[in-house]
Each structure stands twice: as structure tokens, then as C-alpha cells.
């Protein structure tokens, strides 16, 4: 069997990027009998794709990088059906990205991570809503199978009119880099790098309205009188919307690479992820894996990920965000260690090998 995968989205360094990166790495480790063709379309960040391809040590792999940016791919594939990515490849299965779905002779699989663009259109640009809606409609019509990250997202897809039998829930898994480390000097060096000192509260995510950072910051301000030594550190590049304004004891760290992020998770007193909607939330699992207590929303897929290990809140209630943070940072050492142990147990349910195996099973069933 010859399997094609669109890896264009790895350049974004977001949850979708992590999904694609980990899936491809573990598919190639798992499967030595099938041939893989990796396609990427990008303009300015071709080096990211090139470096990723160089890191893959696999004999059953070919690849192709074109200058079709996501916007051009949207035009060429979603509207004009031009420039098919499998030119001369004779693919049996093609796994399309969450952005563009080409019409091919191969069986088509696509991953739809969430329906944020329909649930919260006000949290997206008009262009993004249009593109993703068109991709969803094409997936409904042309895709032979759809993968999604959670039962919450599957429910949304079924409500949109896609047949239940056409959708499989396959949980992604956090990267192996996220793990506790014992090198105290490295921890201290990393904190100095980001001008941080303990104790601090951590949040991670692209700065955009759906991530609910405004309410988190207001909740932090409400806590400031009782916990004057606390800092709120927010890691993540700016996406769109109103930029977060700096206040006392707020650190906007920007994009943080994984080798530093795992240390920030470990050093933080608590990780807070008050998102209004997520198809999946990698940072929750990354925090668990790094040994950090987690507070998150009681909405969408987040309770699926947090299980019994996370603290939940109504993300629209600023007072509840503040009181829950206060509750967790006030835990005794014994209780905190118990919470961290629950996190390790919960994250152990999410394995990248399982993600790859279940995805490969779908490819194999389609090729029969």
C-alpha cells in the first residue's frame, strides 16, 4: 500500500502541528511494510519542513515540497481541483490536512480537529471560517473517512450531518519530550532565561479570543492581594484579536520551544487552561506528563482529557477561575503530590503508538 500524508501544517508550531509531527514519526516507526509519500506546501518556512524530513530515518519514504502556501492550496484544491499533490505517485490512500481536501483517485482520509469555526465564529477571522467550512463540506461529500480527536468533536460532526459510521475518534498523544527532569541547575537556568521565579501560574496557548486569556488575567488580578508573590506566565505566540496588555506580575513569554516549555510546566505551581472550546488540548496532557496540577474548562473535549486528574471550572465565570486557582495553589504538599500522581496516571492513557496504530488500521481498511 502507498500512503500519502499532507504535512504542510507542521510549520505552524501549534496543536495541529504537533498532531501531524507525532503521527508521521510513529507511523514510520510502526509500519515498515507500506510506502509513505509526504507532501508539504509552503513558502517562507520550507526549512521547517526540510528539517523535519531530514529527521525521519526511514527507507520507505519519499517526499515533495511545493510552493503552494495554505491559501494557494485552498484555492487550488478546495475550489479549482488543480495541482493534485500525488502527481505520479499512484497512491492508495491520501491523508489530507485540516485545511484543504484535494480530489484524488486515492481513498481520502482527513482529520477534522474541531468545529471551533462554527461554534465560535466570532473567535475566528472571516477568511478562516470560510475556508474551514468549505473543507468540512468537502469532507462530508468526498472523504472516505474522517478522523477526529475527541468524542466531543465527533458529536459536533454528527450534528452537522456527517454519518456516525464515517467518523473515528483517535486520541492524539503528547510528545515524549514532556517529562519530569531532575537537573535543578537547568530548571534555574531556564527560569532566568524567561525572567521568572517561583511561585508562578502558567498558561499556554496562542493568544486569540477563544483561549479566554482576558478572563484569566482578570481572575489573576483578583487574586493579587491574597497572593502578592505570584506571577502569571502566558506562553504562546500572538494569533489574532486584541493584544494582551501587560499588567503587574504578568509575563507574556511569546513562543516557547518544547525543551523550555517542559521545564516551565514542571516549575509552575499550577497550569491553567480556561479555553472556551477545544477539539483537543495538548497542553493539558503536556502539563500532566511534566508533573504539574491542571485547571481547565468543563466544556467541549477538555473533561475527556483531564478525567479525574484535573480541576474544572466554568470558563465564563471570572470569580470561579480565581477561586479555583486559589484552591489549587493553596493545596498541602501531600495533596499536591496526590494530584500530580493522578495526572501521571491519566496521561499514561494517551500513547503515540496507539494513535499511529489506530490510524494505520483505517488506511488498511480503506485499501481493501
User: Do the Cβ atoms of 202 and 270 come closer than 8 Å?
Assistant: yes
| CA 322 from centre of chain | 25
Closest C-alpha among 318, 137, 129, 120 to residue 223: 318
Candidates 239, 217, 179; CA nearest to 15 is 239
Cell 450531518 sits on residue: 161
Q: What pLDDT sits at residue 241?
A: 53
Q: What share of the chain is helix, strand, coil (3-state, %, to 5)?
A: 45, 15, 35
Query: Which pLDDT does position 5 carry in this prediction?
Result: 96
CA distances from 210 to 17, 19, 54 (A): 18, 20, 35
What does residue 267 show for φ and ψ, rounded to 5 degrees? -85, -20
At CA 68, angle to CA 65 and CA 73, rounded to 5?
Answer: 120
> What per-residue confidence (pLDDT) applies to 244?
61
Q: How many CB atoms lie within 10 A of CB 248?
A: 10
Whether residue 30 contacts residue 357, with contact meaning beta carbons closer than 8 Å, is answered with yes
Question: 177 near 136, Cβ under 8 Å?
Answer: no
* pLDDT tens-digit profile, the chain (368 residues): 999 999 998 888 778 888 999 999 999 999 999 999 999 888 778 888 899 999 998 889 999 888 877 778 778 877 887 777 777 678 999 999 877 888 888 999 999 999 988 888 877 778 888 888 988 999 999 999 999 999 999 999 999 999 999 999 999 999 889 988 889 999 999 999 999 998 999 999 877 778 899 999 999 999 877 887 899 999 987 655 555 666 778 999 988 999 999 999 999 999 999 999 998 999 999 999 999 999 999 999 999 999 999 999 999 999 999 999 999 999 999 999 999 999 999 999 999 999 999 999 999 999 87
Crossing angle between the packed helical segments 15-30 and 282-290, to the nearest 10 degrees: 70
- How many CB atoms within 10 Å of residue 141? 10
User: With contact defined as beta carbons under 8 Å apart, do 235 and 253 qualify?
Assistant: yes
H-run or E-run covering 118: helix 116-119
The dihedral sign for the CA sequence 338, 339, 340, 341: positive
Give the integer Cα–Cα distance in Å for 168 and 145.
Answer: 8
pTM of the prediction? 0.90
Measure the CA–CA gap between 326 and 320, rounded to whole angstroms: 10
Domains of the chain: 2-173+351-367 (3.40.50.2000), 184-347 (3.40.50.2000)
Confidence at residue 282, expressed as pLDDT on a 0 to 100 scale? 92
Instruction: Say which residue the cell 514542571 belongs to.
Output: 266
Taking each helix axis as running N to C, give the angle between helix 352-367 and helix 15-30, from 0 to 180 degrees, rounded to the nearest 10.
Answer: 70
Amino acid at each position: 500500500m502507498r500512503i500519502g500524508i499532507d504535512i504542510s501544517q507542521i510549520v505552524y508550531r501549534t496543536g495541529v502541528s504537533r498532531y501531524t509531527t507525532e503521527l508521521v514519526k510513529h507511523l514510520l516507526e510502526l509500519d515498515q511494510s507500506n510506502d509513505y509519500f509526504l507532501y508539504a506546501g509552503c513558502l517562507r518556512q520550507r526549512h521547517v519542513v526540510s528539517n523535519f524530513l531530514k529527521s525521519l530515518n526511514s527507507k520507505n519514504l519519499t517526499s515533495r515540497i511545493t510552493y503552494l502556501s495554505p491559501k494557494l492550496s485552498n484555492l487550488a484544491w478546495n475550489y479549482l481541483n488543480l495541482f493534485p499533490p500525488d502527481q505520479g505517485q499512484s497512491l492508495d490512500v491520501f491523508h489530507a490536512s485540516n485545511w484543504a481536501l484535494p480530489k484524488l483517485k486515492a481513498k481520502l482520509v482527513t482529520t477534522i480537529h474541531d468545529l471551533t469555526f462554527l461554534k465560535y465564529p466570532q473567535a475566528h477571522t472571516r477568511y478562516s471560517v470560510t475556508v474551514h467550512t468549505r473543507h468540512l463540506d468537502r469532507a462530508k461529500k468526498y472523504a472516505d473517512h474522517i478522523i477526529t480527536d475527541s468524542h466531543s468533536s465527533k458529536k459536533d460532526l454528527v450534528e452537522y450531518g456527517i454519518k456516525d459510521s464515517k467518523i473515528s475518534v483517535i486520541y492524539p498523544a503528547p510528545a515524549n519530550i514532556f517529562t519530569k527532569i531532575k537537573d535543578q541547575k537547568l530548571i534555574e537556568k531556564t527560569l532566568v532565561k524567561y525572567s521568572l521565579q517561583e511561585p508562578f501560574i502558567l498558561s499556554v496557548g496562542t493568544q486569540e479570543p477563544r483561549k479566554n486569556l482576558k478572563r484569566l488575567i482578570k481572575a489573576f488580578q483578583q487574586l493579587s492581594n491574597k497572593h502578592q508573590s505570584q506571577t502569571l506566565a502566558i506562553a504562546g505566540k500572538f494569533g489574532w484579536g486584541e493584544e494582551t496588555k501587560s499588567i503587574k506580575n504578568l509575563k507574556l513569554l511569546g513562543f516557547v520551544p518544547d525543551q523550555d516549555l517542559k521545564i516551565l510546566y514542571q516549575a509552575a505551581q499550577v497550569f491553567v487552561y480556561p479555553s472556551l472550546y477545544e477539539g483537543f488540548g495538548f497542553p493539558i496532557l503536556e502539563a500532566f506528563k511534566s508533573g504539574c496540577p491542571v485547571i481547565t474548562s468543563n466544556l467541549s473535549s477538555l473533561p475527556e482529557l483531564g478525567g479525574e486528574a484535573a480541576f474544572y471550572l466554568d470558563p465564563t465565570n471570572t470569580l470561579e477561575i480565581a477561586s479555583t486557582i486559589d484552591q489549587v495553589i493553596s493545596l498541602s504538599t501531600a495533596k499536591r503530590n496526590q494530584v500530580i500522581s493522578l495526572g501521571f496516571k491519566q496521561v499514561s492513557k494517551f500513547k503515540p503508538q496507539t494513535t499511529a496504530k489506530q490510524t494505520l488500521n483505517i488506511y488498511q481498511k480503506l485499501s481493501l
